Structure 1
């Protein structure tokens, strides 16, 4: 094995991991109470990165992979198990502030200790050969299933949040958290790959180290960028937590007629419209209004509003061809020109400019 390549890879990765870990824990956030959950999530992620940094440091400075191969495998398996929980907790808590509880923490720490003890018994007390290899396969399967279950829980929380955003807001709030989904799928692939590479011959181990660098750089940039969008997302999630209103008979009075009148007045072009605001305009309950829109129009609130905005934009382009696409986008209620162009192309098969040219 090329020890120099191995050591350079470890050194580079370790420096980045230490920087990201300490930054996540120590860097400040805006002095607002709404950022408390973001700060807790980022510190949890920082702890996960420092745990991995400790693993890298032992490999780099102690050369444990060459002095005690079984101890290196045990350390890697134990580290991955713990970090799976820390990673998933950090990300899931961004979507569910009540996810990290004392009971859940005790449960997963207990599982981690049990996994580590059993892995140690397999590696140090079972005789080498088919028995030990079979037991190691069982431990690797346990680790894999554990990681998949945590990832599944995170993906379900992500999809639930996106559905709620689409059912309550006319703008694509879900785009602000799309990185969570991308990172989760990448983490599953990376985690499985790291687990497999643990058992590969030494000459391939630098692949495991180098593959972590772009993975954690993406994580760092995602967390930093999310700081810009966290507040609007968290406020929407707070609305969901508060959405426990009780329906009253007044919720059902003339809602169809009121919606028809509101549509005729082009109320949907109001930028940043939410279902809460519309329910107040229509004098109804937002939970019932969301259910009514789904049952009547077979669309989420966002898709329903977007459909009318696209039709309104088409009317504007035909009636006032001298107006620019940016002006049409703004007048139609879209906050972003790029979002308007993308949605228009998805629905019409042409960009707004090409559609306009084909009709005039």
Structure 2
């Protein structure tokens, strides 16, 4: 009964993988040069999904401690999901050379193992005690090395993803006045899910548990589907965040850099209240000021000591407090809209971050002090 259920689960996984593999390779994309690496990621995911489908169909052994097939699948998926997701946050980070360097150890260990299997066989182990009893067996040593490699991959890519996510969020703050929807939370969720699945696979590879293995493949099938659905939506978001990855080229007619004066530029921003434009970006403000985005960002960072997001936020909150004082009849939602926020929740979050209290609490305290 367990074996039949296992076969059904692995076949379901294989079917879902093949369906999304076809979607990845046939997905129509806009002719945008910035999506070049995304196109490469889709091809990589095509290979990953087809390989996963193949492994799911071929590996019908329900119990085999430190299974080389399971460990190889784990390593392969850690690498492919990590690179695919990091590529969305930092397209220049993932190159063919990077992938080849990180997949080489897995290829080498597999070649070593399956060539060795011709002479030493593919030991079937039912428990860790059997692993200990055959510890000096060449095939067992290779399987242990593969398990340790998977652990190393989890740690390395976990740190790499955290670093790239921090850098991406910093870039967003340098470019957008309102960026909550651009933080790509699904990327973090998918990565955490991949990390947990990878860790779970390493744990169950050490135990004799058909139930744990079937649970793994059940969750993995769902994960493949959710990941695939999310990943193919990325081009829609890329249109909004493209400037994060591509610095603005100075426009024709801009004032020469040596003539820039932050005092004059800041006065223009304050007088014209450019910062109140809904979801204004640094690129849009730079165009209004007829300077390069890099120049404007440098002025804000150096002269104001903060990034673009924080600077615009502080100006908006100052304006909001002025409006509250002069127009106490206005609601938080109305004031939020007047100072450029698309959602009251974003306004309230920024207001509390700057003043230490919520807009309603600030207004209540002010009324009590009058």
TM-score range, shorter chain: 0.7 to 0.9
Question: Are residues 1:162 and 2:162 paired?
Answer: no
1:79-138 residue CA offsets vs partner (Å, 9 max, x unmatched): 333333322332233234444544344434533321212444777739952324565333
Whole-angstrom distance in 2 between the partners of 1:100 and 1:75: 26
Does the aligned pair in 2 maintain the 1:170–1:305 contact within 8 Å?
yes
Whole-angstrom distance in 2 between the partners of 1:235 and 1:206: 44
Does the aligned pair in 2 maintain the 1:166–1:172 contact within 8 Å?
yes
Shift of 1:302: 0.5
1:3-51 residue CA offsets vs partner (Å, 9 max, x unmatched): 3443343344333333333222223334655545434323322332222
Aligned to 2:275: 268
Alignment of 1:10-29 (within 5 A): 10-29=10-29
Whole-angstrom distance in 2 between the partners of 1:31 and 1:50: 26
TM-score normalised to structure 2 length: 0.78
Whole-angstrom distance in 2 between the partners of 1:88 and 1:206: 24
Aligned to 2:89: 95
Aligned to 2:129: none
SS at match of 1:200: coil
Alignment of 1:72-111 (within 5 A): 73-111=67-105
From the superposition, tell whether residues 252 and 145 of structure 1 become closer, same or farther in structure 2 (CA, over 3 Å): farther
Does the aligned pair in 2 maintain the 1:41–1:94 contact within 8 Å?
no
Alignment of 1:337-352 (within 5 A): 337-348=344-355, 351-352=358-359
From the superposition, tell whether residues 214 and 315 of structure 1 become closer, same or farther in structure 2 (CA, over 3 Å): farther
Aligned to 1:64: 61
TM-score normalised to structure 1 length: 0.80
Alignment of 1:156-195 (within 5 A): 156-172=163-179, 175-195=182-202
Whole-angstrom distance in 1 between the partners of 2:366 and 2:332: 14
Shift of 1:172: 0.9
Question: Are residues 1:231 and 2:226 paired?
Answer: no
CA RMSD between the two structures: 3.4
Task: Could you tell me which runs of 5 or more consecutive residues in structure 1 were left unpaired when the two chains were aligned.
Answer: none
Whole-angstrom distance in 1 between the partners of 2:263 and 2:300: 10
Identify which of structures 1 and 2 has the higher relative contact order when contacts are C-alpha pairs closer than 8 Å and 6+ apart: 2
From the superposition, tell whether residues 329 and 153 of structure 1 become closer, same or farther in structure 2 (CA, over 3 Å): same
Alignment of 1:307-326 (within 5 A): 307-326=314-333
Question: Are residues 1:219 and 2:234 paired?
Answer: no
Q: Count matched residues.
A: 349
SS at match of 2:167: helix
Does the aligned pair in 2 maintain the 1:44–1:89 contact within 8 Å?
no
**Equivalent residue for 1:131, pick from 119, 124, 136:** 136
Does the aligned pair in 1 maintain the 2:68–2:143 contact within 8 Å?
no
Aligned to 1:293: 300
Aligned to 2:205: 198
Shift of 1:200: 1.9
From the superposition, tell whether residues 253 and 33 of structure 1 become closer, same or farther in structure 2 (CA, over 3 Å): closer
From the superposition, tell whether residues 278 and 85 of structure 1 become closer, same or farther in structure 2 (CA, over 3 Å): same
**Equivalent residue for 1:142, pick from 139, 149, 152:** 149
Whole-angstrom distance in 1 between the partners of 2:277 and 2:352: 22
Does the aligned pair in 2 maintain the 1:44–1:87 contact within 8 Å?
no
